[in-house]
Amino acid sequence: MVDDLVPDGAGNHTAPSADCPVETALAAIAGKWTTLLLRELSRAELTFGGLKDTLPELSDKVLADRLATLVDRGVVDRVVHRGYPNRVAYSLIDAGRELRPLLIELYRTGTRLQSLRGGGGDAVSSQRP
């Protein structure tokens, strides 16, 4: 079936599959802290320590994991600057910038969901006998 949700037949799966475009996109931003990191890196190139300063509650280990994953995914570039001490700079690359409209749409959708809950409509009651 091909409709506007699945415009080209690449999304017609009956089980989760890495081939599905939707899963590809979700995989690119998956993981706790990842969208926060993408937000910071879309503002500016940052070093490991710079990221720690910006997100103080994020542990070294998870930060390192997240960054390595983003580099693996081809979303972030990692450049070592030799010196005393060494520094390592992280920045978004092309594929990472492809994520920007998605993050904007996530923000927009989340905002609308929140106003649907808080604002007008009362919670829809689903009958559970």
Q: Is residue 23 at the binding interface for a copy of itself, with CB under 8 A as the rule?
A: yes
How many CB atoms are located within 10 Å of the residue 38 CB?
Answer: 22
List 68, 104, 106, 116, residue binding DNA (CB under 7 A)? 68
> Amino acid identity of 89?
A
In whole angstroms, the minimum distance from the beta carbon of 4 to DNA comes to 26
Q: Which of residues 80-109 bind DNA (CB under 7 A)?
A: 85-88
Q: Is 75 exposed, middle or buried (0-12, 13-18, 19+ CB in 10 A)?
A: buried
Q: Is residue 114 at the binding interface for a copy of itself, with CB under 8 A as the rule?
A: yes
Q: In whole angstroms, give the CA distance from residue 34 to residue 92.
A: 13
> Amino acid identity of 110?
G
Q: Given the complex with a copy of itself, which of 65 and 117 has the nearer CB atom?
A: 117
Q: In whole angstroms, give the CA distance from residue 81 to residue 103.
A: 30
Binding mask 51-70 for a copy of itself (x = CB under 8 A): ---xxxxx------------
**Residues making contact with DNA (CB under 7 A):** 16, 31-33, 47-50, 58-62, 64-65, 67-68, 78, 85-88
